[in-house]
Structure 1
Amino acid sequence: MVQERNLQGKGVCWSLRLWSAAVISILLLSTCFIAHCVVTYQFTMDKPNTRLSELHTYHSSFTCFSEGTMVSDKVWSCCPKDWKLLGSHCYLVPTVTSTDSAASWMKSEEKCSQMGAHLLVIHSQKEQDFITNILSTHAAYFIGLRDSGHRQWQWVDQTPYDESATFWHKGEPSSEDEKCVILNHRNDQWGWNDIPCNHKHKSVCQMKKIYL
């Protein structure tokens, strides 16, 4: 009888150990899963915040816009203060009174790059009209298009150059020695004109807007 009770006791102890091991395993797996979810969520959420932090080194403040229709799915998009928003991009247009913004094409691109941006890229009539409506007709503006050699036009952001969506003035481009492009107002209309890259003009900077 005593031996039988000892065997039963050992069986109960073994069962308890198995249950304990199973419970501990489940808890460990649950903890790992939860931790993974938290890390993944934090990593996903940190992406825009990281870019926002990086841009804060160039810009002191941002203007944000709500793009959601309900509180639950509200998305915020932001541009640096004083930049204009169109679609998925922000644009910085120099003021009419600014006198220190004239520079060569290369220096203009460097200035944009120092703000986390690049020179203006235009792929549609909508973009062309949006920008020209806020530019001064008395100035010319470098855009992010130049000849990489043998009249192979290339945008600074590496997007394809589409000949069907260009806005050259009549007779332009006109010279293989003129490898950079300005946006200017001529003969009562806005258009593109190729010029030497060392000429000094104003410029328009562009960056992708930030989503929060």
Structure 2
Amino acid sequence: MARFIPILFLISQAFGHSLYTQCPPGWISMSPSLGCLLYHTEACGGVQGGGCDWIQATESCQSIGAWLVEIHSGDEQNFIVTMAKALELIHGPLDWWIGLNDLGNEGNWLWQHSRSNLTSGKFSSWGLGEPNGTYLENCAAMSYGSLNYRWSDLGCGKRARTFPICQKF
């Protein structure tokens, strides 16, 4: 992880995100509304270990006093995508678990930490045709490839090269 901290620091400075120094080492920030973020590629055995399921991702964040990221604006989404693309240079393509799910109430998407509802009129960044799952796809991730880190609904089980983005204030 130490080798990509300078890259993320330089990118965050290039975008004028002065809150970086208020975050713990290895964490980055865009604004007070987003808090500090950690692209937790060391969770679940790390990049070489395969990836996490959504519950493991949640627990990995909780173990460091954080939660899966909640994204509430286009600016936040764009910043998070920019950082994910920077990490592609180091680790190759990865998918990222976010804190959105409809576990327990199909179609009612809630942010895991705040318990706020993703209702129409609020910001969302679903990929084309997403969410498209049924009761088998209850967790959300930012997906690489054709979705270009837009959100997709997926099964909550272990996914290769899928890791948490942790958030804390």
TM-score between both structures, scaled by the size of structure 1:
0.57
Cα deviation, 1:162-181, whole Å, max 9, x if unaligned, reads 43311111111111120001
Runs (5+) with no aligned partner, structure 2: 1-20
Q: 1:131 to 1:147 in 2, by over 3 A?
A: same
Which 4+ runs in 1 deviate beyond 6 A? none
Distance 1:93 1:196 in 2: 21
**Which residue number in structure 2 is paired with residue 163 of structure 1?**
120
* Pair 1:191-2:150 in alignment: yes
Distance 2:119 2:78 in 1: 17
Q: 1:101 to 1:94 in 2, by over 3 A?
A: farther
Root mean square deviation of aligned Cα:
2.2
Q: 1:198 to 1:129 in 2, by over 3 A?
A: same
Distance 1:163 1:183 in 2: 19
Distance 2:147 2:117 in 1: 29
**Aligned counterpart in structure 1 of residue 164 of structure 2, from 190, 199, 203:** 203
More helix by share: 1
Cα deviation, 1:141-172, whole Å, max 9, x if unaligned, reads 11000013121101012234243311111111
* Pair 1:106-2:55 in alignment: yes
**Aligned counterpart in structure 1 of residue 93 of structure 2, from 138, 146, 151:** 138
Count the aligned residue pairs: 132
Distance 1:82 1:101 in 2: 21
Q: 1:134 to 1:203 in 2, by over 3 A?
A: same
Shift of 1:93: 1.2
Q: Secondary structure at the match of 1:178?
A: coil
Higher-Rg member (1/2): 1
Checking the alignment, whether the CA contact within 8 Å between 1:108 and 1:142 is kept in structure 2 is: yes
Runs (5+) with no aligned partner, structure 1: 1-76
Distance 1:127 1:119 in 2: 14
Distance 1:168 1:139 in 2: 17
Q: Which has the higher relative contact order, 1 or 2, with Cα contacts under 8 A spaced 6 or more apart?
A: 2
Cα deviation, 1:21-59, whole Å, max 9, x if unaligned, reads xxxxxxxxxxxxxxxxxxxxxxxxxxxxxxxxxxxxxxx
Shift of 1:185: 2.5
- What's the % identity of the aligned pairs? 27
Query: Which amino acid in structure 1 is aligned with residue 37 of structure 2?
Result: Y
Shift of 1:104: 0.5
Shift of 1:95: 5.1
Checking the alignment, whether the CA contact within 8 Å between 1:102 and 1:203 is kept in structure 2 is: no
**Which residue number in structure 1 is paired with residue 130 of structure 2?**
172
Checking the alignment, whether the CA contact within 8 Å between 1:101 and 1:202 is kept in structure 2 is: no
Q: Secondary structure at the match of 1:181?
A: strand
Shift of 1:100: 3.7
